[in-house]
Structure 1
């Protein structure tokens, strides 16, 4: 029997998933959590085999909760985490995988795909929706950020890291504010991120702003 914990902040979604999965042979829903913090606590209390984790939840989101569960806060051996969400940006996919998630499926996936993903993750394998798998392959094929960021883009990113606004960056570099926005969009695309915070974090992790 595969024991499941469902973590989602929408009661209707939790109830729907619990109803669907409870009817599947070999699956048992042992707990439901409405946010990431509760997911970690209930995972420690109920010791599920797999945690179905949404990404966007109040208080503690799915990525942070996955990190804590993978780090052993829910006990050892750590439950396997399968992200089940409506979001599929490169930034979110990578953040979840880096946090320790064993799989990433979309809520719009057929029930059979979700059930198969649960069984795969419980067996120690990974599970990725076709859309997510394609995004990861495309990301791996991109040149490393170190080889594609220009000197000006690095300069802009360094000022972003220092807390400068677009207007302040434009003044500091003697360029137009629209040019700053263009540089930022190119930086986001090259790094595969969606916002300034993640761009700076990833750049620091890879030593681009040293």
Structure 2
């Protein structure tokens, strides 16, 4: 049984808005995601202005965001990420982009994104990432997690972690759920939650994605 098969699905459909400046990409994503009974596409946008308007109207749970919305700089996508996540209540943002740049990965997390996935991931990985973000977890493919770690320098002071906490952190960075982490480490889901709470406390992090970001900045993972 795969991770996707045994992960609990939400009781109601996860509402998703697609933001990408290429119509053919949005059409492809829609055709993939609409096959899933727990996902519902409630809007599309090709520009930042359209994204803000459709998000205000549709109230999605997740915005699937391409940072490159024009031929210009990346600042537009990052600013849009901030504006979306600052809304209350606001959607979770999962970046889905062609570009794997260390500074972009870090910038996306700093601007509020809960995950970062490159477009050439397979369908299973994309669905896993969307569902992880829907559960208020982080979602990084292996390359974006590594890019985030490479971009950080090791400060002189840092919290200490137990060997088990370090293993949990490594699996958090890979976007695994509490259940999957417990399965990998042969511990209960309750114990995983205990370790995650300790990790977030030591890193002064408000979310799992922020904990991964702070741990990467410290050079822990």
TM-score, normalised on structure 2?
Answer: 0.61
Is there any run of 5+ residues in structure 2 with no aligned partner, and where? 1-12, 156-221
1:67 counterpart = 2:79:
no
SS in 1 for 2:100: coil
Q: Which of 94, 105, 113 pairs up with 1:82?
A: 94
1:114 counterpart = 2:126:
yes
Contact 2:102/2:150, CA 8 A, preserved across alignment: no
Following TM superposition, the consecutive aligned residue runs of length 4 or more in structure 1 with deviations greater than 3 angstroms are none
1:119-169 CA deviation, whole Å, 9 max, x = no partner? 0101101100110111222333x345xxxxxxxxxxxxxxxxxxxxxxxxx
1:36 counterpart = 2:51:
no
Query: How many residues align structurally?
Result: 141
Q: Of the two, which has the highest radius of gyration? A: 1
1:102 counterpart = 2:114:
yes
Relative contact order, higher structure (CA 8 A, sep 6+) = 2
What root-mean-square deviation, in Å, do the aligned CA atoms of Structure 1 and Structure 2 show? Answer: 1.7
Is there any run of 5+ residues in structure 1 with no aligned partner, and where? 145-210
2:27 is matched with 15
Which whole-Å CA distance do the structure 2 matches of 1:132 and 1:81 have between them?
15
Where is the helix percentage greater, Structure 1 or Structure 2? 1
Which whole-Å CA distance do the structure 1 matches of 2:30 and 2:76 have between them?
20
